[in-house]
Chain A
Amino acid sequence: MISLSYYIACAVVLYIIGLYCLASKRNMIKLVMGLEILVNAAHVSFIAFSAYISPGYIDPLGHSVVIMSISFAGCVTALALVIVTYAYKHYKTLDVRKLRRLKW
């Protein structure tokens, strides 16, 4: 078993990658994917802790949180994609930098 720090590092690096994706991607669907990456960082962290609590055993609390949180992430993604559909209908493009009519 490799040390726990590697899993935590993986979770935080995923989180940073998710934030990078939200900050600098142009396609709206890529932004929605970035949201999923952010949530998956937390999931990796939960499962890692749940497995390392005691060698050979797992703690079901971490797993139950992840099971429920995956469905919430799915709901948010569904809603986000509906909004992206309408944005495409209004703006005729998927480029989020064109959504700049609301300023100041």
Chain B
Amino acid sequence: MFTPPLDTLLVFMIGTPAIGWVIHKKGYPKVQGIYASAGLLVAAYFLYGLSQEVSEKGIVLITGPLPFNPPFGACLQIDVFSVFMTMVYIIIGLFTTVYSIKFMERDSGLTEYYTLMLGMVAGMTGVVFAGDFFTLFVFWELMCLTSYALVAFRKQKWESIEAGFKYLIMSAAGSATILLAMSFLYGMTGTLNFAALADRLANTSSEGWLYITLALVIVGFGIKAAIVPFHTWLPDAHSAAPSPVSAMLSGVMVPTGACVLIRILLLVFSSAQPAWQMTLATFAVFTMFGGNLMALLQNDLKRLLAFSTIAHMGYIVFGFAIASPEGLAASLFHIVNHAVMKSLLFLCAGAFIRQTKTRDLRKLRGIRRAMPMTSAAFTIGTIAIAGFPPLNGFWSEMMIITAGVRAEMIIFSALMLTNMALSVVYYFRLIRVIILEKPTKVSKKTTKAPISMLIPILVLAFLCIFIGAYPVPYIDASSKAAEAMLNIRTYIDAVLRGL
């Protein structure tokens, strides 16, 4: 059908309701979660095989069974960047699925939950594998639809429904904008294949309609990537969703929007590069400030983490706007680090919320005594995300700033440094509240988190320390992925000259 990893995810997504129906008769609800995690493990195994193939061939092209006619056949074009991002998705998906076996045990509708989680990972994988704009749109819709239902999953609470509706309206408007931009590109060139578009639009002199299409693409993908004028769905959606879903959304789905945006800008709009570089850098600075300033005012734990996601998306988009090999590699490495750190923080927050039934920071004071291991992992995650030296956040943020300075964007780099300093304020507030203050009535009465929820948390915390201590292989991998993204000539040749 498609490639093995994507096939596995889709087949397991269809198998989950079958398992759920059998389980319903017998009564072992945890088997569904174990089945979904097994699916992700099998997909990771196949992805390893695919990555071997990509590292020898450069680009793997998957077309339909009949002879492929480049300008209008659908295709999947897999390069190092796609494999890199899919590895992140599957690993974070695995951790959140294992965590939700225990976390979601009291909810109903678990069959649909695991189906939708697998569907979301499959959609994100397809989005980075796509070689044709409409194929990307199909998998983008898969990713979006599953995330709408996952945000509104706890439908008996008003908060989930309000957040879900707001998110759906804004995100579907973004998808419609992408479709309109796609139609203009089709009108200009007669094709929707990325390689053919890159080839045909490479040397256009300034064309007014190309700039309109560029604006539509930035708005459409920017709504999903939480760029500042279009970020308003994010805090509500991330606080109202169940915590494993928040970890997935915040850690991997929001950066997917940015990745696809930069992919399309590099490939299709390379002739308008100075224009989109400056635009993206300006939006990135607004995003950083918006996220950090709003996070200072929050009293709700998950809402604060959601605004922190917006700020980090600002850093990532700034790294992408630099568009040099160092900048892209820095942003990709920061996506990996942010995924690890932010999902760690959201999973710990989920453990706190499950045990204490409250999200208010003022009531969660001093919870260290009651939940020691979770608080320790939470502290490690907070120190890492604030960017302190021995942990992983420091390396990627410094790489982005150095790449910015080297590319002559000194004012933007200085603003990013200011934002990092600003963010330390609320991260330290989190640490002070969780660790140092005296426990309130609520936090004294809680019990420790169950062991099967602690395992993903501790593994992620260990990864933070491990990546921070020895970042070199990860920086190498991100550099290779960035090189593959910038290597447009190889990408075009793989399709148009036949591999």
Contacts and interface: CB of A to CB of B under 8 A. Distances in A.
Interface of A: 8, 11, 15, 18-19, 22, 28, 31, 35, 38-39, 41-42, 45-46, 49, 53, 59, 61-62, 65, 68-69, 72, 75-76, 79-80, 83-84, 86-87, 90-91, 96, 99, 101-102, 104
B180 A41 contact: yes
B172 interface: yes
Given A49-B183, A53-B190, A61-B186, A79 B148 contact: yes
Interface stretch (B163-171, B251-259, B416-424): B163-171
A15 B180 contact: yes
Interface string B165-197: 110110011011101101110110011100000
Contact of B176 (A38, A59, A90, A99): A38
Secondary structure type dominating chain B contacts: helix
A89 B481 CA distance: 48
B191 to A, nearest CB: 8
5 contacts: A22-B169, A68-B134, A79-B149, A87-B162, A90-B158
Contacts of A65: 134, 182, 186, 192
A90 B161 contact: yes
A84 B164 CA distance: 10
B172 A35 contact: yes
Interface in B65-84: 72
B297 interface: yes
B54 interface: no
- Contact size range, B: 35 or more
Given A46-B186, A102-B236, A104-B297, A11 B180 contact: yes
Given A41-B180, A61-B72, A69-B179, 17 more contacts: A15-B176, A18-B173, A22-B169, A35-B172, A41-B176, A42-B182, A45-B183, A69-B137, A72-B141, A76-B144, A79-B145, A79-B149, A80-B169, A90-B162, A99-B165, A99-B166, A101-B158
Given A15-B180, A53-B190, A65-B134, A76 B168 contact: yes
B116 to A, nearest CB: 11
B112 interface: no
A80 B183 contact: no
A80 B180 contact: no
B34 to A, nearest CB: 28
Nearest to B152: A83
A79 B144 CA distance: 11
B162 A101 contact: yes
Nearest to B169: A31
Nearest to B179: A42
A79 B192 contact: no
Contacts of B166: 99
A13 B240 CA distance: 35
Contacts of B191: 61
A43 to B, nearest CB: 8
B186 A49 contact: yes
Among B134, B149, B172, B175, chain A packs the most CB atoms within 10 A around the CB of B172
Nearest to A89: B161
A83 B168 contact: yes
Nearest to B209: A8
Secondary structure type dominating chain A contacts: helix
Given A49-B186, A61-B72, A65-B192, A42 B180 contact: yes
Contacts of B134: 65, 68
Nearest to A91: B158
A39 B184 CA distance: 14
Contacts of A104: 294, 297-298
A53 B186 CA distance: 11
Contact of A62 (B145, B163, B186): B186
Nearest to A103: B236
Interface in B123-160: 134, 137-138, 141, 144-145, 148-149, 152, 155, 158-159
A91 B236 CA distance: 17
A49 B149 contact: no
B162 A38 contact: no
Nearest to B164: A83
Given A45-B184, A79-B149, A83-B168, A102 B159 contact: yes
Contacts of B159: 101-102
B122 to A, nearest CB: 16
Contact of A45 (B145, B175, B180): B180
Nearest to B183: A45
Nearest to A90: B158
A15 B175 CA distance: 12
